[in-house]
Amino acid sequence: MFRIQPLVSVLLCCFTFWFHISFGYLITCSGIVPMRYRNDKVSITDFGGVGDGKTLNTKAFREAIYRIQHLRRRGGTLLYVPPGVYLTESFNLTSHMTLYLARGAVIKATQDTWKWPLVAPLPSYGRGRERPGGRYMSFIHGDGLRDVVISGENGTIDGQGGIWWNMWRQGNLQFTRPNLVEFMNSRGIIISNVIFKNSPFWNIHPVYCSNVVIRYVTILAPTDSPNTDGIDPDSSSNVCIEDSFISTGDDLVAVKSGWDEYGIGYGRPSSHITIRRVTGSSPFAGIAVGSETSGGVEHVLAENIVIYNSGIGVNIKTNIGRGGFIKNITVSQVFMENVRTGIKIAGDTGDHPDNRFNPNALPYVKGVTLKNIWGVKVQKAGSIQGLKNAPFTNICLSKINLHGMTGPRSPPWKCSDVSGAAIEVSPSPCAQLSSPQQSGSCANHF
Ligand SMILES: *[C@@H]1O[C@H](CO)[C@@H](O)[C@H](O)[C@H]1NC(C)=O
Ligand SMILES: *[C@@H]1O[C@H](CO)[C@@H](O)[C@H](O)[C@H]1NC(C)=O
């Protein structure tokens, strides 16, 4: 017995290894950004920070980060936020730092919206996303940085967005609401083991970035909170999102790349975006591409996704005037339960920044593979509707099973201006995808 045990553990270990390999669990975002150990550590309390939920800590955060920026210790510096509630106005991060939230630490945004700083609109949007002109700076902001980590023991970054949602509802927002966390023009970013709560607008927005890892995060906002997207990689490359739970009032993950003529002019695509082992619930889409895709989106892989109580499972959306491209998109191993529409690919979604958009700037959509998708309580299997002068091509549906409310029957697929193939799809797909000679469309696009 005693001697057999090592053998058993070796076998068990091998089995576990095989299991992990077979089901892909060993594939992670590790390696995209090297994890840094920081020898130099400071605490927000060294700068007068008080975690009583009432004291304003803006000065403490700004001074701590100023110190990190100017002392430039070898290997960077970790800024420790101990347990407690630290109320603060928005602040900028700097390069070579870790913002570390201890268990029970909360960084909470002030409600002084009238004092909130403004920043320039993104060049790829030409204006604020919801109001013309500038936009309120993100609660936690980083521009032109490298080697930044936001991590810890699942402390919370709380945007206290309610006041902003009400301004939106009452129509008295002057500028576009702030994101909770935004990185611009940055590379080598890790966001992990943090809870994001009640963002005023989008939660995590990497824009013009590369090499970004977001993992083990929890993102929460009420179902009726307007535009609280979970994670929006925007004109960014090598972004890896995994092992996270997201439940918000808008799309859970939406890959974007700029808006109409401004996005076309800026011309920066999103590419090599990986999303895996993400679970959550949204009144809109679970996994989305768009609708702002004017700089182009390519090489997106989403796998092992669970979406429940949601509007749409997988949603690829663009519009006339967008231009740009959406190509080489693969979504696989998705389970959905209680969603209104399983899959929707549409060329008529989203608004325009102004009436200067070019109606002849049609999007180019080619090479979308959706495979191994299983759904129960799905009201409508889906629709794939391209544009008359820009049909969507090489669309592949493979091994898709979307059951209705009352058993295996659900309303048929709706398709127009689309070509591609469908293999083992139930309910049976529309005629445009059913011709067997097209099955070449189902070669792996990634
Ligand atoms: C933070 O960064 C923004 C945008 O880069 C800049 O406009 C602002 O002045 C910075 N604020 C502080 C306090 O450094
Ligand atoms: C933090 O949350 C993540 C994701 O939910 C979880 O995997 C991890 O074990 C938690 N870490 C701690 C220290 O509680």
- pLDDT one-digit tens code per residue, 212-254: 999 999 999 999 999 999 999 999 999 999 999 999 999 999 9
**What is the distance in A from the centroid of ligand 1 to the CA of 91?**
8
Which two structure tokens, joined as six digits, stand for 260? 């109409």
Q: What is the reported pLDDT for 6? A: 45
Whether residue 250 lies in the annotated active site: yes
Is there a cis peptide before residue 291, judged by omega within 30 degrees of 0? yes
Least reliable range by pLDDT among 318-322, 410-414, 418-422: 410-414
Q: What is the reported pLDDT for 31? A: 83
Residue 231 backbone phi and psi in degrees, to 5: -130, 125
Domain 9-250 carries which CATH code? 2.160.20.10
Concatenated DSSP letters of 40-71: EEEEGGGGT---EEEEE-HHHHHHHHHHHHHH
* Residue extent(s) of CATH 2.160.20.10 domains in the chain: 9-250, 254-446
**217 Cα nearest atom in ligand 2:** 4
Q: What is the CA radius of gyration of the chain?
A: 23
Give residue 26's pLDDT band: very low, low, confident or very high (50, 70, 90). low
Q: Which of 232, 234, 250, 251 is catalytic?
A: 250
**119 Cα nearest atom in ligand 1:** 7
Kindly state if the Cβ of 338 falls inside 6 Å of ligand 2.
Answer: no
CA-CA-CA-CA torsion sign (137, 60, 189, 68)? positive
Q: Which CATH superfamily is domain 254-446 in?
A: Single-stranded right-handed beta-helix, Pectin lyase-like (2.160.20.10)
Q: What is the reported pLDDT for 397? A: 95
Instruction: For residue 257, give the nearest of 336, 350, 359, 338 by alpha carbon.
Output: 350
Q: How far apart are CA 29 and CA 123, in angstroms?
A: 29
Q: What is the reported pLDDT for 111? A: 95
Residue pLDDT, tens place only, 272-331? 999 999 999 999 999 999 999 999 999 999 999 999 999 999 999 999 999 999 999 999
- Opening angle at CA 345, ends 342 and 347, nearest 5: 150
Q: What is the reported pLDDT for 410? A: 66
More confident site: 293 or 35: 293
Mean per-residue pLDDT for 56-63? 98
User: Residue 383: is its pLDDT beyond 60?
Assistant: yes
Q: How far apart are CA 384 and CA 345, in angstroms?
A: 5
Residue pLDDT, tens place only, 161-216? 999 999 999 999 999 999 999 999 999 999 999 999 999 999 999 999 999 999 99
